[in-house]
Structure 1
Amino acid sequence: MSGARLAYLPLITYPDTVSDEAVAAAVRLALSLDHELHVTTFSAKIPRVSTPLGALLLDVPGMIRVTEENSRNQCQHLQDLVRSHAGRSTKVGCHSRESVPGLTGDAAATEARYFDLSLLPWAEDKPVVQDLAQAVVFGAGRPTVLVPPSGDWAPITHIAVAWDGSRVAARALADAMMLIGPGTRLTALTVVDEKQLERVDIAETLAESLRRRGLTATALSVPLGGRPIAEVLQTSALEAGADLLVMGGFGHSRIRDFVLGGATKGVLAGLRMPVLISH
């Protein structure tokens, strides 16, 4: 007998936060996937420093208190927002924890390991939000769904799998299998001239493998055509009618400096649909 599936939603409150629209989109997506949603709002815990000279000019302790209070208030706002969009659902739980700015991503990545997947509301113009997402993608060891604020992305009935036959693509497909329900369609999506592939028919080979498992799957091979790979993947998935794009995350971290592959970097820079990234 299978148990509940658990989704994790970490929300940062300092020095920036995501929009209410992005949070609402992530909540709707979690509930449409029939996952229990566990939300952590991170309030700022700013280390105290001794500044005798500075205290003559600025009330540093007072500024810290105000900042931390505002962060706690934002935590409460986000939790109220989650509950309002969840409605009467009993599958939502919220709690807050303190985190030192700059270390929130590591804390969220550690928490994410206890859940089936993470949902990350996205903001293209907020580097702190992006840092949090990248820390979870590359540090959790669990799949992460990036959720753009615009559009109604629920339910997920059609999944496009970015397929190049690589290990990370296979891992991403395996992670996405838990999201497949009765009636879910899949598209094996291959960009044929972006890199050297094992052979030209890998999209159809994957689609046939999925059909043998009783799934509804089709193959789609598209040319790069001089466009960025991330644009081709998302445009092709949307034109095929997919609700979710699944892809492997290429990259690694070096003391919080992230080195990303072209497709991963492009998707993070221009998110147009929910994207499950597995690393």
Structure 2
Amino acid sequence: MSLSDILLQIDTYPDPTPPEAIEEAVGFVRLIGGKVSGLAVGVSFPIHSNRIADYLIGLSSMADDEQARSLVNGRASLAAFTAAAEGAGVFGQAPLERADYYAVAEHVALRARTRDLCMTPLGKPLDGQTEVATSVVFDSGRPVLLYRPGYLPATKLGPAVVAWDGGRCAARALADALPILARAETVRVLAVVNEKPAAVAGLAAEAARHLQAHGIDAAIDEVDGRDAPIGESLDAYLAKAACDLLIMGAYGRSRAREFILGGATQHMLRDPKVPLFLAH
């Protein structure tokens, strides 16, 4: 199975997705095959009528200006996306939709449900993109690829690493990423052993066997995670290993509409060192 129907989430507010991130996404899709649609969501700011606030600071006018800026950003980014995707022969669609500012993440997750993969580029700190990625991976039922501009391979996919702990979410990520792993230059299966009782030596052997059954040769790396937070173990490994893409399961549960994330998931979402493929 290929990833034929990919969604690129394009940010519109407060700053638009950088052009470099759009170009890299298009190049990555051309690299792995398939078509990509760019989704830009213009934000709305519902303002309850307040004559005093309108009189003192022009609250309604400020909201109108910010909404208009979001739409301008979205149209410009979609035009750049369309030109790049059509030029690369991977263009799908380019919708510009609207959602309340605090509902953008849920809106993107809804649209991602009928896609093979949702790509979410990171911008500036606190730009809301991490929240979008979290919503997509837990609410859409589809995988998400989170990346920073300048790091996503667009011409050649080098080493890919599968973080494996033998759990259900890791299995889901492995299955969803097979079409990408088949195109990687090399594949390694990483097991952080002694991090929890089930994380024992030899844990990754079955994952490597499964990859081999799909014609993908994979080496196994085991690192000792004893007495270290899982996030630190992953960072230490990535600092030494050349890696174009990290595939891992996303662990978390919902409580009162807020996600309580597993340690590794929270750590990697906060500051991914390499492009991060997550599935739940």
Same fold (TM over 0.5): yes
Distance 1:87 1:38, change over 3 A: closer
The separation in 1 between residues aligned to 2:96 and 2:269, in whole angstroms, is 27
Q: Which residue of 2 aligns with 1:60?
A: 59
Deviation at 1:204, TM superposition (A): 2.8
Whether the aligned pair in 1 keeps the contact of 2:194 and 2:200 (CA below 8 Å) is no
Q: Pick which of 205-214 and 254-263 moved more.
A: 205-214
Distance 1:238 1:214, change over 3 A: farther
SS in 1 for 2:6: strand
2:10 paired residue number: 11
Determine the C-alpha separation between the residues in 1 that align with 2:66 and 2:183: 48
Task: Indicate the larger mover: 118-127 or 91-100.
Answer: 118-127
Percentage of pairs with the same residue: 28
Matches within 5 A, 1:184-263: 184-197=185-198, 199-224=200-225, 227-237=228-238, 239-263=240-264
Further displaced range: 77-86 or 232-241? 232-241
Q: CA deviation at 1:82?
A: 2.0
Question: Which range is displaced more, 140-149 or 62-71?
Answer: 62-71
Counterparts of 1:153 and 1:225 in 2: how far apart (Å)? 33
Distance 1:210 1:129, change over 3 A: closer
* Contact 1:163 1:203 (C-alpha < 8 Å) held by counterparts: yes
TM-score, reference length from structure 1:
0.88
2:25 aligns with 26
Distance change in 2, residues 1:182/1:119 (3 Å): closer
3-state DSSP of counterpart to 2:221: strand
Q: CA RMSD in A?
A: 2.4
Query: What residue number does 1:118 align with?
Result: 118
Does structure 2 conserve the Cα–Cα contact (< 8 Å) formed by 1:159 and 1:185?
A: yes
Answer whether contact 1:165 1:202 (CA < 8 A) is retained.
yes
Structure 1 residue 33, shift from structure 2 partner? 1.6
Cα gap change, 1:62 to 1:198, in 2 (>3 Å): closer
Q: Deviations over 1:56-88 (max 9, x none)?
A: 223233222211111111002211332354361
Structure 2 residues without counterparts, runs of 5 or longer: none
Per the TM alignment, residue 161 of structure 1 is displaced from its structure 2 partner at its CA by 0.9
1:238 to partner: Cα distance: 6.3
Give the whole-Å Cα distance in 1 for the aligned partners of 2:218 and 2:126. 37
Per the alignment, in what secondary structure is the counterpart of residue 22 of structure 1?
helix
TM-fit CA distance, 1:130 = 1.7
Asked whether the equivalents of residues 245 and 274 of structure 1 are also in contact (C-alpha less than 8 Å), the reply is yes
User: Taking structure 1 as reference, are residues 182 and 20 closer, same or farther at Cα in structure 2, changes over 3 Å only?
Assistant: closer
CA contact (8 A) 2:253 2:261 kept: yes
* Equivalent pair of 2:16/2:77 in contact (CA under 8 Å): no
- TM, length-normalised to structure 2: 0.88
Name the amino acid aligned to 1:156.
Answer: L
Go from structure 1 to structure 2 and tell me whether the alpha carbon gap of 1:228 and 1:98 turns closer, same or farther (over 3 Å shift).
Answer: same
Change (3 A) 1:209 1:59: closer
Corresponding residue number in structure 1 for 2:166: 165
